[in-house]
Structure 1
């Protein structure tokens, strides 16, 4: 099993980063959108202006329906009406098939977005809302995925860390630092601006291919971002963070109380929606081909009232 990464930070250091990153009250005491407030009409128009070729690229993996190293408990897909029963409705001339899909929204394999009710730190979620606001019957009363159902379109920057480092992929023990983010800006000739969405590639797809698709993030681990990156993301005004992993390292970090600091600080303090387990190989190849790493990204969560997140199929438009 992969060893936990040492951030060279103490619990006190992470406490300080957490407090310094808090956006609580910035957009009002009742706010549930967090940094999505930065995705204004002007920012979305800037995203549309970044489209030069009209090339569309999916950034999602296939919906997992069979157990695998990355998704040991997959989603469920079964037929309600298959082709042999297509005309069984009793309505003359009506021939149709139907199916059912269900899943655990979160995990290490399915491409999904985390709502701000997904994470708590010391019994509080974003903007100080409490555990009682997420109920077993009906889900989240506050900070649900409904805050993200009509605004996730804008300019996005791909930070291709392996390309900037000159490698195919990062190993699980390797950490994406603030220096990596800034080096990518310089190498890719792009600057992350307020309201931008940012996607960080660690080369997880290439690493999977190199190991014949048999890697388990539970045992072999995943590369992730250093906790200091949370402060950089907040200071830059990033609206959404995506990754081909979960932005955090696997296995969980070694600092007591802070197992997944990017999730804990990003979601809970900053109010940053995270997109996990994105498929970025084709997007990275296309960006390198055209020499441009800024594009429009569109993400459309289902309108799940009370939801803690949702499977998504992010579409990049170059």
Structure 2
């Protein structure tokens, strides 16, 4: 792969303004979710042929590592000392706590997640919308009824004949178009676009690493592809951003462009290692995709277990 050029902050801001002005979700409160119509949901249902369901989430991580200093916490709270009585009724109970926006666990980013130049998506002042109690606008509650539509998996490592892209590699718009052509599929309006970079497979085979320093993701200019096709949601087995950032002075340019500029909900740190072989074997890369975030009315995101239904 040829590494794409780095962008100056001025060039990035020019790209941001262009995408915000032209992307279908660039100014509406629900963002790009408005591109998914009832007719498109019904069409996506017709993608189901075998009835097979595949989880696109990774198992929740509870062990600290170089990419997860604050892992999820899960513990049994009853029975005491995990010792049930010999007679009578008891209930096993447990407690779960999670940093939603970590670098391992699968989650959905709400439109209030990204603050850029003091504002949220659509230009709302962040100071008036965020408080210790949570977000009063653009929270994950926008997706409380679920996100249901046609999922499209673009497998970029498969395009290049490798198991994964090495950390630091940026996926270009040309890569996405080439993956489309090889897989004989075309991304369209309202699609849930899932881009595999192989992050999860690399972690499973080689072990965790500090992803803040190096990870594969999309080059900011690849967002022009998604804007042109009018995608509804973007997901990846990484977090869609390359590290180190290819943009001077902007650490997460794809997050800024997608969430803040284009109104795209992001799915971060998914797992495609069960789905991708099925798609390759069956020669079909589209499916019904169902995403059901938790009902967290003031939250900036949610853990999520997206399902591909083939």
RMSD between superposed Cα atoms in Å: 2.3
Counterpart selection for 1:155 from 150, 158, 165: 150
Q: Does 1:215 align with 2:218?
A: no
Separation in 2, partners of 1:207, 1:111: 16
What corresponds to 1:305 in structure 2? 297
Give 5+ residue unaligned stretches, structure 2.
none
CA drift of 1:38 comes to 0.8
- Relative to structure 2, which stretch is displaced further, 20-29 or 7-16? 20-29
Query: Residue 20 of structure 2: SS of its match in structure 1?
Result: coil
CA drift of 1:149 comes to 1.6
Q: Does 1:115 align with 2:110?
A: yes
Contact 1:126–1:271 at 8 Å: present in 2 too?
A: yes
CA drift of 1:93 comes to 5.8
Task: Specify whether residues 228 and 42 from structure 1 end up closer, same or farther in structure 2 by C-alpha distance, changes over 3 A only.
Answer: same
Separation in 2, partners of 1:25, 1:87: 60
Q: Does 1:143 align with 2:135?
A: no
Counterpart selection for 2:7 from 3, 9, 14: 9
Contact 2:25–2:262 at 8 Å: present in 1 too?
A: no
Query: Residue 217 of structure 1: SS of its match in structure 2?
Result: coil
Contact 2:157–2:163 at 8 Å: present in 1 too?
A: yes
What corresponds to 2:129 in structure 1? 134
Taking the TM superposition and a 5 Å limit, the aligned residue runs for 1:276-291 are 276-291=268-283
Deviation by residue 1:61-111 (Cα, 9 ceiling, x = unmatched): 1111121232121011122213756679xxx96431111111111021110
CA drift of 1:214 comes to 3.5
Q: Does 1:231 align with 2:224?
A: yes
Task: Specify whether residues 264 and 6 from structure 1 end up closer, same or farther in structure 2 by C-alpha distance, changes over 3 A only.
Answer: same
Counterpart selection for 1:35 from 29, 32, 36: 32
Deviation by residue 1:132-162 (Cα, 9 ceiling, x = unmatched): 2333332111110000121401101000001
- Relative to structure 2, which stretch is displaced further, 109-118 or 162-171? 162-171
Contact 1:121–1:264 at 8 Å: present in 2 too?
A: yes
- Relative to structure 2, which stretch is displaced further, 79-88 or 117-126? 79-88
What corresponds to 2:239 in structure 1? 246
Counterpart selection for 2:285 from 245, 270, 293: 293
Separation in 1, partners of 2:183, 2:147: 24
Give 5+ residue unaligned stretches, structure 1.
none
Task: Specify whether residues 33 and 165 from structure 1 end up closer, same or farther in structure 2 by C-alpha distance, changes over 3 A only.
Answer: same
Contact 1:113–1:310 at 8 Å: present in 2 too?
A: yes
CA drift of 1:293 comes to 0.4
Q: Does 1:20 align with 2:15?
A: no
Contact 1:116–1:273 at 8 Å: present in 2 too?
A: yes
Separation in 2, partners of 1:70, 1:98: 29
Contact 1:25–1:127 at 8 Å: present in 2 too?
A: no
Contact 1:36–1:151 at 8 Å: present in 2 too?
A: no
Query: Residue 22 of structure 1: SS of its match in structure 2?
Result: helix
CA drift of 1:26 comes to 6.4
CA drift of 1:122 comes to 0.6
Q: Normalising by the residue count of structure 2, what TM-score does the alignment of the two structures yield?
A: 0.92
Q: Does 1:95 align with 2:87?
A: no
Query: Residue 275 of structure 1: SS of its match in structure 2?
Result: strand
Query: Residue 54 of structure 2: SS of its match in structure 1?
Result: strand
